[in-house]
């Protein structure tokens, strides 16, 4: 038989969400009448906004009138220009369309970006973190085996704790790659300007690269908080930013995202030459990717229209109202809750010192509510639990009521 990529054997018991799915299915099979409320996986629940649907319809009609074949690998100009004008210019960040790479998702981008770096590169992640950062580096062979706590040899874990407001600073040692996510999934914490300045200064001092995941930037409520790492002085020399239309505009099933790589971010070749990461990614993207469908890029562009911007902002506000209800409902009853102010996630300490998975099982059993065990995002997530604000107001209220009934003191 053909030998497999053995690094996959180091991965831990499957991806988090399939495991949750298995437990929920088993519960539902045994309790067919239970009305389970799902606040687990971070997926949107509102339909696409009318302005976006309209743009998609119009683009479909165009497809029937003339051929729109392979698009430019890095995205159509109408979209990359709109991104620069609407996502960056208002922040005082000047990026040009050639620094934007449109893709079919930030999951892919955050998983694929490691390919352009040496296999010997060291990396750090905040712990807990979005599982894709760690798992894709394990698959690539950049780590050793996991220890009994689930920490892989070769990765520097930076615990996100109540003491550091779930926003750890840079490590003392030098590493090549730093994955950062703000607003954070899973903790719902948000980086301040000071936090990011510390990281950028560290990256420049150490000639490291920051891979900044801003999938939730639209959920930031305070205009003084940074929405892009490029708002920080010097970030154009050391950072790559990933953004997605998934959460801000309900594109999880529609698929469109982008990566911003300034032409000033450099890596080093084995011969010691400085190489543009923008050029490297461009080569990679053109080889392995054949552009996002025309219809979808037209739909994404509509997010920036006056109507599209207003309608998607309303959707974000709807989810943030849920986040506030969860914070107040559970926090007011004495649960230790964090996040949820600039992110659609509430991070709570499990009641009674339960382990994350024990609380998951009890919550499902006693409240018929599904959340996500914090330990699934990294060892420092043990004893915590993520509750997503993606649902209807009615389901959120019902879930809070059930949780308080089963677990309230």
Q: Which stretch binds ligand PLP (CB under 6 A): 99-107, 334-342, 356-364, 380-388?
A: 99-107
- C-alpha R_g of the chain: 21
- φ, ψ dihedrals at 215, nearest 5°: -60, -25
Q: Point out which span in 201-209, 243-251, 324-332, 381-389 binds ligand PLP (CB under 6 A).
A: 243-251
Residue 112 Cβ, how far from ligand PLP at the closest point, in Å?
11
Which one among 122, 246, 372, 391 touches ligand PLP, defined by CB under 6 A? 246
Phi/psi at 387 (5° precision):
-115, 125
Longest Cα–Cα distance of the chain, Å, equals 65
Omega before 338 cis (within 30°)? no
CA distance readout (Å), 59 to 56, 65, 83, 85, 90:
5, 10, 19, 22, 28
Total residues in contact with ligand PLP, by rule CB under 6 A:
15
Among the candidate windows 2-10, 78-86, 100-108, 277-285, which touches ligand PLP by CB under 6 A? 100-108
Scan residues 23-52 and list those touching ligand PLP (CB under 6 A): 42
* Partners of 159 in beta bridges: 127
Q: Does 252 bind ligand PLP (CB under 6 A)?
A: yes
Exactly one of 182, 244, 297, 315 binds ligand PLP (CB under 6 A); that residue is 244
| Cβ atoms 153, 143 nearer than 8 A | yes
Q: Does 181 bind ligand PLP (CB under 6 A)?
A: yes
Which of residues 106 and 121 has its CB atom nearest to ligand PLP in the complex?
106
Cα 160 from Cα 169, distance rounded (Å)? 9
Helix crossing, 393-407 with 356-367: angle to 10°?
Answer: 110
Piece of 62-70, 103-111, 193-201, 358-366 that binds ligand PLP (CB under 6 A): 103-111
Residue of 215, 265, 303, 330 interacting with ligand PLP (CB under 6 A) = 215
Q: Per CB under 6 A, does 83 bind ligand PLP? A: no
Query: How far is 236 from 153, CA to CA, in rounded Å?
Result: 30
**Dihedral angle, C-alpha 193, 223, 180, 118, nearest 10 °:** -90
- Binding residues vs ligand PLP (CB under 6 A): 42, 105-107, 110, 130, 181, 185, 213, 215, 244, 246-247, 252, 257
């Amino acid at each position: 038989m053909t030998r497999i990529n053995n690094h996959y054997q180091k991965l831990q018991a499957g991806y988090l969400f399939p495991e949750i799915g298995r437990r929920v299915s088993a519960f539902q099979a045994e309790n067919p009448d239970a009305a389970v409320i799902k606040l687990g996986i971070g997926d949107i629940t509102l339909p696409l906004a009318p302005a976006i649907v309209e743009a998609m319809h119009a683009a479909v009609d165009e497809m029937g009138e003339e051929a729109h074949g392979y698009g430019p690998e890095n995205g159509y100009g109408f979209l990359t220009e709109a991104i620069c004008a609407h996502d960056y210019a208002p922040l005082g960040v000047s990026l040009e369309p050639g620094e934007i790479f449109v893709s079919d998702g930030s999951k892919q981008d955050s998983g694929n970006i490691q390919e352009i770096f040496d296999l010997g590169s060291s990396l750090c992640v905040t712990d807990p973190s979005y599982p894709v950062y760690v798992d894709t580096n394990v698959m690539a062979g950049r780590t050793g085996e996991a220890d009994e706590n689930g920490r892989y040899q070769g990765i520097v874990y930076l615990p996100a704790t109540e003491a550091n407001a779930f926003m750890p600073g840079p490590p003392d040692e030098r590493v090549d790659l730093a994955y950062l996510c703000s607003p954070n999934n899973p903790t719902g914490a948000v980086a301040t300007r000071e936090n990011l300045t510390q990281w950028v200064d560290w990256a420049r001092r150490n000639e490291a690269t920051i891979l900044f995941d801003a999938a939730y930037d639209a959920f930031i409520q305070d205009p003084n908080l940074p929405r892009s790492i490029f708002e920080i002085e010097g970030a154009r020399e050391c950072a790559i930013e990933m953004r997605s239309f998934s959460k801000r505009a309900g594109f999880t099933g529609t698929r469109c995202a982008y990566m911003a790589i300034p032409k000033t971010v450099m890596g080093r070749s084995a011969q010691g030459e400085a190489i543009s990461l923008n050029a490297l990614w461009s080569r990679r993207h053109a080889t392995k990717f054949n552009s996002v469908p025309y219809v979808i890029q037209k739909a994404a562009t509509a997010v920036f229209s006056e109507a599209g911007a207003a309608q998607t902002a309303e959707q974000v506000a709807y989810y943030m109202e849920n986040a506030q209800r969860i914070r107040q409902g559970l926090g007011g009853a004495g649960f230790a809750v964090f996040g949820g102010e600039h992110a659609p996630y509430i991070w709570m300490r499990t009641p009674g010192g339960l382990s994350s998975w024990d609380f998951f099982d009890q919550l499902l059993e006693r409240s018929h509510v599904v959340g996500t065990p914090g330990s699934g995002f990294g060892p420092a997530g043990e004893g915590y639990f993520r509750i997503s604000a993606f649902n209807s107001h009615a389901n959120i209220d019902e879930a809070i009521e059930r949780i308080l009934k089963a677990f309230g003191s």
